[in-house]
Amino acid sequence: MDDKTKDDDRTKADASAPTHAESTRRYYETGDVDAFYDSVWGGEDIHVGIYSHPQEAIAQASHRTVERAADRVPDLLGPDATVLDLGSGYGGSSRALAERFGCRVVALDLSEEHNRRHRAANAERGLDGLIEVVTGSLNDLPFEAGRFDVVWSLEVLCHVEDRAGALAEAVRVLKPEGALVFSDIMAAEEESVEAVRPAFSRLGVRTPATSAFYLDQLSGLGLKTTFEDRTPDLATHYARLDEDVHRRAAELRKVISPAYVDDLLTNLPLWADITHRGLLRWGLFHARRAVV
């Protein structure tokens, strides 16, 4: 086979390979992943919790994260406000914000299956008049500049390949006086990226970001940012997940494929270990445009 043929074959293979966004969408739309989040996480939120004690229910702690993030921007939330929830998943944040503040929420997610489920839950709770659910990508937001009072995202950027582009898009659609609030699971330092890569592989994440990356990018976009480091909660969260899955493995195999449960039993201890070893970081970012 000559070099040109090899190059042509590689080009065809690259063209047929799923994009990073498509791989993420497929991951979250599998029945096993849905069943895991329903059975272990609670089926409302898909992000790390803030714990009042080490044995607190995962669903309760995850909801507290929403409350804590909202407490960063109470001046911007109310009946006249519009929030963009990026990577809205099952809609837990969107519903919590709409119920607590009466604000309008535009919820964007790659997964049409998530969005179908999100819309159904909104209708059941009488919130479909306040929440609009849209299918789309963080790197190409279908909204005009300066539309939103708050742009919100909990543990979504770790799944995005072009994080700098996604941040720029988030800032583009933010009102001049608005705020960006988000959380993410990150490598503690640049040198720990390789050490944590095996744990991230289950999520299809190639390279996690660092808090320094986000702070630098947001500064370059003209925002003043605070980072609330909640890494101990990350350690508690993965210890709780690991404990729950091991304790309930036989029960979970009735609703999740045995192969996926076995994968969890292998992968979750990796997360618990690297978090305990201080190789990961997690917390809440709150960014607003710097006052000139």
The pLDDT tens digits for 203-235 are 777 788 999 999 999 999 999 999 999 999 999
**What is the arithmetic mean of pLDDT over 141-169?**
96
Phi, psi at residue 66, to the nearest 5°? -60, -45
The number of residues making up the chain comes to 292
pTM for this one?
Answer: 0.88
If pLDDT is split at 50, 70 and 90, which confidence band does 26 have? Answer: low
Count of CB atoms situated within 10 Å of the CB of 240: 21
Q: Strands 148-154, 223-229: parallel, antiparallel or unpaired by DSSP?
A: unpaired
Residue 251 bridge partners (DSSP): none
Q: Which helix (H) or strand (E) holds 288?
A: strand 280-289
Residue 10 pLDDT exceeds 80: no
Residue 135 bridge partners (DSSP): 109
Sorted by sequence, the CB contacts under 8 Å of residue 217 that are 6+ apart come out as 163, 164, 167
Q: What domains are there in the chain, each with its CATH number?
A: 20-289 (3.40.50.150)
If pLDDT is split at 50, 70 and 90, which confidence band does 11 have? Answer: very low
Among 12-26, 113-127, 258-272, the range scoring the smallest mean pLDDT is: 12-26
How do residues 31-70 score in pLDDT, each as one tens digit? 788 888 888 888 899 999 999 999 999 999 999 999 999 9
Helix (H, G, I), strand (E, B) or coil at 137: coil
Q: Is 42 left (phi over 0), alpha (psi -120 to 50) or beta?
A: left
High-pLDDT (> 70) share of the chain, %: 88
If pLDDT is split at 50, 70 and 90, which confidence band does 93 have? Answer: very high
**146 neighbors 155 (Cβ within 8 angstroms):** no
CA distance 236 to 48: 9
**pLDDT at position 123:** 98
Q: How many CA atoms lie within 13 A of 43 on its CB side?
A: 7
CA distance 131 to 91: 9
